[in-house]
């Protein structure tokens, strides 16, 4: 289970940062930055993937009430322009800059620190299972991105985004074949790129 040891050892105002949505074929990549109140940390924080949707929802609402929370995205156009890794780092930088109070140190899930970040930072592999601040950020980011994809699914039915969240599930691939590519698809991602390339050949 994650704990608050990294934050306590740093002894300053620490933000945990995580992103969700690197792998999907559609939708933005979303990042969250969270500064927890050491005296008011919700019970049960953990890697968002290890929590039920109901538990994530409860913790998400609690975090909005008791922590400094910032959420940001990088768009599909940005993902296609600068690549998914850079776009996920851009979303992280935006989330950090959106906090009410600037953190004095940042804990980032993964093995890389965004190159545009101008603050002291530490990257933590599997950080969402080790740091409570990062696990809080993982919950917020996933809740927010899931809601974006559910909204997009209502605008573009047939791809199953309300359940697959834009990942390349069987239903999503079938939707691509039957309905084509939407403005919310990442054209730089191979399955989408290949489909567009095939359409171009057929058209020509």
Q: How confident is the model at residue 189 (pLDDT cuts 50, 70, 90)?
A: very high
Check if the beta carbon of residue 196 is closer than 8 Å to that of residue 183: no
* Position 56 pLDDT exceeds 50: yes
pLDDT over 80 (residue 199): no
Does position 165 have pLDDT exceeding 50, yes or no? Answer: yes
pLDDT digits (tens, 9 = 90+) for 120-148: 999 999 999 999 999 999 999 999 999 99
Domain residue spans in the chain? Answer: 5-146
Cα separation, 93 vs 72, in Å, equals 9
Tallying the residues shown for the chain, one arrives at 204
C-alpha–C-alpha distance, residues 20 and 15, integer Å: 17
pLDDT reading at 204 higher than 50: no
For residue 196, is pLDDT > 80?
yes
Q: Rounded to whole angstroms, how far apart are CA atoms 77 and 184?
A: 9
pTM of the predicted structure, to 2 decimals: 0.94
The DSSP letter of residue 160 is -
For residue 195, what pLDDT is reported? 86
The topology (CATH level 3) of 5-146 is Nucleotidyltransferase; domain 5 (3.30.420)
């Amino acid at each position: 289970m994650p704990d608050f040891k990294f934050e306590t050892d740093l002894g300053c105002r620490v933000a945990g940062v995580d992103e969700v949505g690197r792998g999907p074929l559609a939708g933005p990549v979303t990042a969250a930055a969270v500064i927890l109140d050491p005296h008011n940390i919700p019970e049960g924080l953990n890697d968002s993937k290890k929590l039920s949707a109901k538990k994530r929802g409860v913790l998400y609402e609690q975090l909005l009430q008791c922590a400094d929370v910032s959420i940001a995205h990088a768009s599909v156009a940005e993902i296609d322009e600068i690549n998914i890794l850079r776009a996920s780092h851009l979303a992280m930088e935006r989330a950090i800059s959106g906090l009410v109070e600037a953190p004095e140190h940042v804990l980032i899930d993964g093995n890389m620190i965004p190159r545009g970040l101008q603050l002291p930072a530490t990257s933590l592999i599997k950080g969402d299972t080790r740091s409570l601040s990062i696990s809080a950020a993982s919950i917020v980011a996933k809740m927010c991105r899931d809601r974006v994809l559910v909204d997009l699914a209502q605008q573009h039915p047939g791809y199953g985004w309300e359940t697959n969240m834009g990942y390349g599930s069987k239903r999503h691939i079938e939707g691509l074949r039957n309905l084509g590519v939407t403005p919310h698809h990442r054209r730089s991602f191979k399955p989408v790129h290949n489909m567009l390339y095939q359409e171009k050949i057929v058209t020509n």
